Amino acid sequence: MTGGTELKSMPVGASDMAHIVLTFDNNKFAGALYGPFDENLARIEQKLGVDIRSKGNQLAIKGESGAAEQARRALDYLYGLVQGGTELSASEVDGAVRLALAADDQLSLPTFEGKGKLAAAQISTRKRTVYARSANQDAYMRALERSELVFGTGPAGTGKTFLAVAYAAMLLERGMVDRIVLSRPAVEAGERLGFLPGDMKEKVDPYLRPLYDALYDMMPADKVERALAADVIEIAPLAFMRGRTLSNAVVILDEAQNTTPMQMKMFLTRLGENGRMIVTGDPSQIDLPPNTKSGLVEAMNILKEVPGIVTVRFNEKDVVRHPLVAAIVEAYDRNAGGARAPARESNG
């Protein structure tokens, strides 16, 4: 980490201002932290409203005391990522800022250490390591570690599906489970697949593309292909899971808002010995026929007091895609004006 942090006093009358000096112990890592033409520093300045000046391996942060401390935490955290071999992008920088803000947001992050350092949850495979980029992502990743059934709900772009697949890939790679089972309601909730060409895998593949993309991100392509061929990674249309017991497996149900209550109950009762289930969905994007309850919303209501089941709700602040995605989600939420149907949104 940093070699030292120095706090300097500001002139009288600026008691709410701070001047923090960070000294880094490796010039190469410091340069990677700053980014080309100091673009990472500029991004933190813009988001936190502080002034950051670099001089060799030193950074001077000036601004309102709370914002300056948030910038220090974010920079210190990012320097740790660089030391670990991470090549910083705008997403990593934005994630560090979100985590630094959350530490002051009465969220009591499990990752916020007493010495003022941030240490986000992570998922690691041989191909790559993924770090939490928001407080809810951090909570979600830690829930995946400790619970056998996790619900992750929220808008597009929050990482709920990607992180679920990444976690499953990690467990498979470490030999902690024997297989991964991917499922998703296809073509609305009725799973009317007959009109599509090809065998069952070819019929369902288009609906599971986000899951495949995450798999290829976390595992080498040849290993994914071999695992698919050997049914170590299995595609299981929701309608075909009745009667099964899924043991020694990570089972992921994506787009779960489009399950009926009967389908959801059937799915959840497939859990077998040494099995883990991850259910993801967006209650604001229900495609079920009118007046049909969402199995996801109902299940979260029914199971909210059951020990060992964890629900993590993401929101627009957790969107880690292009910044416009967060703005789009927020705009749609404002337009909805809270007048959503209770059957669909009561627990969203």
Please check whether residue 135 lies inside any domain of the structure. no
How many domains are there within the chain? 2
pLDDT in tens, 323-335: 676 677 678 777 7
For residue 112, what pLDDT is reported?
A: 44
Whether pLDDT at 52 is above 80: yes
Selected residue with higher pLDDT from 101 and 178: 178
Tens of pLDDT, residues 196-238 = 555 555 656 666 777 888 899 999 999 999 999 999 999 888 8
Residue 52 sits in the same domain as residue 165: no
Q: Among 225-234, 271-280, 334-343, which is the least confidently predicted range?
A: 334-343
Please say if the pLDDT value at position 104 is more than 70: no
Range of the domain at 108: 2-120
Residues 194 and 283 in one domain: yes
pLDDT at 9: 37
Residues 276 and 147 in one domain: yes
Q: Are residues 161 and 303 in the same domain?
A: yes
- Domain co-membership, 95 together with 147: no
List the CATH number of the domain containing 12: 3.30.1370.10
Residue 2 pLDDT: 54
Residue 235: its pLDDT value, please? 82
Structure confidence at residue 15 (pLDDT): 53
Residue 149 neighbours by CB under 8 Å, 6+ apart = 268, 271, 276, 277, 278, 279, 308, 309, 310
Sorting pLDDT into bands at 50, 70 and 90, what band is 302? very high
Q: Are residues 246 and 97 part of one domain?
A: no
- Structure tokens of 343? 């059957």
Q: What is the pLDDT of residue 287?
A: 85
pLDDT at 278: 97
In the numeric block, which tokens belong to residue 136? 């809810």
Same domain, 175 and 205: yes
